[in-house]
Structure 1
Amino acid sequence: MNTRNIYTVIMLALGASSAALASADTSPKPGGVYQLKPGIYVAKGSDCGAPANAAIRQYDGQGLSTAHTRACKATVRSHKRGSSTYTIDQSCIDAGAGPAPRVMQRQQIVVQDALTFTQVIKGDRTTYRYCPVYQLPADLQKAVR
């Protein structure tokens, strides 16, 4: 086999494996308010397979909800072009289920990349990382499907 044929075989193999990898991830692409990948995030140091409720954040493109809030909507108060820091007012229904009042909270969100962010609330900083659906416990897998 000549060099050109070997090169062609290698490129075809790489292309096929790249296509297979790309097609394996069917979850939504990064976007929304913070340009993060929608889904479940856990506090750095937490295990995706068994996170504590307090360590969980769910991003749906509109805001960041917790295990005890839902329907969160972030309103950006300041964000400089080219900056990864957002100052926001976030409004959430203050219950995981059932009727409850909507509450407002000022936060700062610092986006490191599409899979990692730091949330600052009243000076407390916590960094969160994205968890792929297959790594989550069954109840959280249902929440994101």
Structure 2
Amino acid sequence: MRRIERMRLHEIPRAVRNPKEHYLPGIRTSIHAFSAVIAGELNERTGRLVVGHGRLQVLEAMAAEQVSPAEGILVDDDGTWLVPIVRGCSSRSDADAEAYLVANNRTTEKGGWEEQMLAAVPVKPDETSDYLCGLWWSVVLQRGEWLVDPHLGR
């Protein structure tokens, strides 16, 4: 059964290979803006992380800097950050675990955006424009609405 479990940040085993690069400043900005809802997913059969390597890397840096933990992070009596990890999933093989790691990242990259719907998302520049720019979105004010400019990219 799938569940969310708080795990000690520095004790979470990472995947043997993770070919995904991470935009750490954007991840950090997202954590500050929206909390650490889910820090990652652990494969029970391998005992290793399959999703969330970038988030954990950012959380480790934040913990080392001794900043206040984001909402969703608990702190153990010894000061160790306890982060929410999805547990209860098992792959059929190591190859399947690695394939899931890649597919989980790649499918979101390939999805793109429905621009009309995205333009309708209420964005208050004083609250979220820095966050949006941190995630490679260039936001422009046009006719009183915030729109994503797809030509500016990352």
Q: Indicate the TM-score class for this superposition, using the shorter chain for normalisation.
A: under 0.3
Q: Which has the higher helix share?
A: 2
TM-score when scaled to structure 2? 0.23
Structure ID, larger Rg? 1
Q: Which has the higher contact order (CA 8 A, sep 6+)?
A: 2
TM-score when scaled to structure 1? 0.24
